[in-house]
Every structure is written in C-alpha cells, then in structure tokens.
Structure 1
Amino acid sequence: MKFGYTIIYVENVLETVAFYEKAFGLPRRFIHESNLYAEMETGDTALTFAGEEAAELSNLAITPNRKDKLSAGWEICLVCEDVHKAYAHAVENGALPLSPPEEKPWNQTVSYVKDLNGCLVEIASPVRK
C-alpha cells in the first residue's frame, strides 16, 4: 500500500485552487468539469480538493472547514528551502498568518498559516540531519 492523495472538502473548489496557485505556487494538475474535484501538482502525492457537495453525494458527514472557525485537527505541510520568503509570499497573497518562521531544535524552519478555508498549512524546510 502507498499514500495516494489527500482530499480536503471545501466550499468552493475553483477559489481554493486559485488561492493555492497564488499563495503557494502550486500548479493545478486537473479540475473535473463539474468543478467539484481538483488536484494540485505537489510531487508524487497529490493535494486534492473536493466540493462539500461531493461528500454529500457519497453520504459522508463532514464538518465544513471555515476561516472564522477553529481549525480541524490536521494540517498539510509544504516543504521548501526558503521558509521566510514562502511564508511572506503566502501572507501577501491571502493566507492568514498564525506563526512566523522559527528555527526548531530538530534543525528545521517551521511556520504556520491558515488557507482561505481555515485549514492549517505548515510551511517548513526539509529536516536537516
């Protein structure tokens, strides 16, 4: 078994894709013609978004992600070499700042923002050994 992708249910798939393109520089891989599903190019494992209606179509009960609510108990982590630059770019492009870049004892730079849906996004450097 291998990890294939993460799906985040969002209120508006197209707005979320545009936000991730602008704030984090992730290119879109695919948007379904229904606009209820999209994939972002992130390497081997895709970050995907599905409309909340898609959860309902599959008879899944979800708690909607909202910017003005407490974030859910998960996060996505985007890894880059220049965390300070990426953090500033994300905030300048609509991400809500939560924690500026900080050097951690395990030899990694870590920061946190919220996306337009209220989801936690960690922006971090690779762990240096």
Structure 2
Amino acid sequence: MEFSYTILYVKDVTQSVAFYEKAFGLHQHFIHESRQYAQMETGSTKLAFASNELASSNLINGFQENSLSAQPAGIEIAFTTDDVDAAFNRAVEAGAISLVVPKQKPWGQKVGYVRDLDGILIEIASQI
C-alpha cells in the first residue's frame, strides 16, 4: 500500500487553493470543473481539498467541519523547509493565523504552528 494523498475538508476549495499557493508556495495539480475538489503538488504525496458539501455527500453520518471558531482538530499537516522563520512569516502575511512562533526543540528541529483559513492546524518545521 502507498500513502497517496490527504484531503482537507474546506468551505471554499478555490479559496483554499489560492491561499496555499500564496502562503506555502504550493502549485495546483488540478481543480475539478465543479470547484468541489482540487489537488496540490507536494512531491510524491498530494495535498487535496474537498468542499464540505462533497464531504457530506460521501459520509453517511456527516463530520465535524473545520472552523477557526473551534479548537483545531486532533490532526495537523506539516511542511518542512530550510528557513522556518521566513516560511512562517510568509504564511502569516498571506492570512494564516499564528499559534506558536517557531521555536527550537530539544531534538534540534525548529517548529512553528499556524492555522489556515478553515482553522486547520499546520506545522512549519525544519527537517529532523
């Protein structure tokens, strides 16, 4: 089995694609003509977005929507970079919500946390 993609459920797929391009420098792989699903280039594994409506249609009992007004869900996505401070600042300037400014961890990694437009928790870190 191969890990292929992660899907983030969002209010507005097109808005999320534009945000992730600006905040993290990602590039759109494709966006469906319905604007309900998209994928971003992130290496061998894709980062995808599906609208809350599409997610609801796939899940029998629904799900908890991501929201800035609620605590982050118990999951995060992580991006690694050689310049954590610059990447963190770029994300915040693009509209990400700063949670924890980058700090050096005891194991040598530098890590900061932001939330995206839908409240999804994002780690920006150096390689381990």
Report the TM-score range of the alignment, normalised by the length of the smaller protein. Answer: over 0.9
* Distance apart, 1:114 and its partner CA: 0.4
The residue that corresponds to 1:102 in the other structure is: 103
Q: Following superposition, which runs of at least 4 residues in structure 1 exceed 2 angstroms of deviation?
A: none
- Once the two structures are superposed, residues 20-57 of structure 1 have per-residue CA deviations (whole angstroms, 9 ceiling, x without a partner) of 01111111111001101000110000000000111122
Give, as a single letter, the amino acid of the residue that structure 1 aligns with 2:95.
G
Task: State how far apart, in whole Å, the 1-side matches of 2:68 and 2:12 are.
Answer: 13
Q: Residues 1-129 of structure 1 correspond to what in structure 2 (within 5 A)?
A: 1-60=1-60, 61-127=62-128
- Once the two structures are superposed, residues 68-95 of structure 1 have per-residue CA deviations (whole angstroms, 9 ceiling, x without a partner) of 2111000000011000000011111100
| Unpaired runs of at least 5, structure 1 | none
- Aligned to 1:54, the other structure's residue is in SS state helix
* Distance apart, 1:59 and its partner CA: 3.1
| Unpaired runs of at least 5, structure 2 | none
Give, as a single letter, the amino acid of the residue that structure 2 aligns with 1:11.
K
Q: Identity over the aligned pairs, expressed in percent?
A: 51
Task: State how far apart, in whole Å, the 1-side matches of 2:56 and 2:74 are.
Answer: 21
Task: State how far apart, in whole Å, the 2-side matches of 1:113 and 1:102 are.
Answer: 13
What TM-score results when the alignment is normalised by the length of structure 2? 0.96
Give, as a single letter, the amino acid of the residue that structure 2 aligns with 1:80.
T
* Distance apart, 1:2 and its partner CA: 1.2
What TM-score results when the alignment is normalised by the length of structure 1? 0.95
* Count of aligned residue pairs for this structure pair: 127
